[in-house]
Chain A
């Protein structure tokens, strides 16, 4: 891969971001770290969504489905069958890619608006199924708790979650800067025209989907081991989907950096509002913000900042 000067400059920014976040535990308390851990997981899910939906325009309402496959696979393997998590987590990622592809591949034939609905339906199916199919293994409605944790303590978990998120972020970001990224965006703008420039769009979409599923798989598997439990409610739920979606859209879809920013913004906002607004008011508030921002500024926070940056540069000139 050839790395041009602009890419190097941005990688510098990534590095600075990485160093800054690594120093953070020296300054802030464990309470804040625990909040940020959630932000990191949310960022992984949002990036996963962004890589598929933000790029190709195939809007997925079924990401909780992917995350759920990963979570349940590793939870069942490690909790019910005593498989060490070094094996159960990779197995979960593979299961997410394979299982997800099995369901989504037919759906990728469907254009536009229907795709979102079908993926939403998948999520509902899995929700129903986990409750009734083999409840001895899945734990039924109550799910499983007391899952093995990978590392203990807020600081360790902070570094782990940040590390995973950071690596995923950089890899995805580099990916979208290749010609592949350009081709995927082109699908969103005009799939027909992509075909008529000699591309198999099926292959491209399938690749985007597999990457997205892999990221969701990694995120989902680590997530359930971090929180130590899994249950159909909270996992296959529209509120969860909503959080992922809003994080990606708030930050600005199609950028990878946007979803990370969105995830931090959302989690931090949510936490700082907790004392003032203990319950659903917070959803009301950030749902409202998301809605207004989406209607007024579909490109998200990232574009606001990018614009501001451009203005500052112009002004300095």
Chain B
């Protein structure tokens, strides 16, 4: 079978970084080609070049047997390449249908044919297993997962020969990923090629045909068979060393039973979102929240943190009641939150990595409001090193970092001060295997130092592997609580999907 797409010797230079340094990629029609690589390896950059969003400095692209050079996104789309970008690229003010057809609206002399577009959008959503989403709904009101689905529908709306998906599963829950895979199989059956990027190796194994591995802007391996290459080989190709996908050892069950309570939540309720949630976290304990996307986990976390005001219930931190609705008070009392959407909720995109790290603990480096910049930058350097943020230059604007490294910067923020409680909402979303292991170790180390941790993750194995105790959430209610070791993945999945499997 001849190659549909051949990229050779692609080089891309950004100010100060050589993001791609001679990358090769071959994709055949009808295959799922996985692109792997650590955070910052250059995956997103490569596919942006393929999509015409960036211009390569060097290298050639052959698509469908012809040499091409895409001057802009429209050129790539016209040739039959559709892209789902890593950072969601939807317009909040427009409806689902309008987002799907943005740029290639169905129109007569400029007048949109709304009925037709809505119908077509409905069909696409139905194909993705979401016939219930109304095409006229405004995208700004959708959850991250909903947006991801719209983004997918948009890619499908083009008449394509190649679809690129940059971490499409990052915001999706388990069953959604199943849906996604079904669609991908449909596509490949019709001869469409898919380039698939993900940090979840088990997904690669399930859906992928061949794998290309990037490391530091170079191709480390081309076209390995996805199912037959041992994980250890892939990981060592990516990282240049052997990293086991393992969780740090945890203390024996019950060893926290006598530690003082860090957090006590009683009867917390936010109508329509969650009801009567109670939980306690003891010093040194990691408590995991498992649940479907949309089950209210993020909102519980945000409410505990004081970013939302509960209608009932109370939150007590180390014996002190936390006044609702004030994040600054919560931070002062010793809480920290790594929110779910790093771009919109956590990062100051125009500022340097250093400043993103120190912003929450600024008072620690300040006397009477006066910032001691030496101390501050020393702390930033130390923390950036501790989490191995790459490139290792804390003065870079955080916007130029890859997604995973941005996440580390957010995380580093809360290592600054002596925290009593850390709330981690999807802390490893978009983080590569190597870094993940490091983050797990950091989280565990913090716990061992006496910090309480509330962990939310859509990856059940992560919750089960890292947490000491697990709460299972369904439709805003806690339906189960037990030691993590007493659960396995299928049991948790059964519980969270029970009754909602339809």
Co-complex (A, B):
no
Residues of chain B touching chain A, judged by Cβ–Cβ distance below 8 Å, are none
Residues of chain A touching chain B, judged by Cβ–Cβ distance below 8 Å, are none
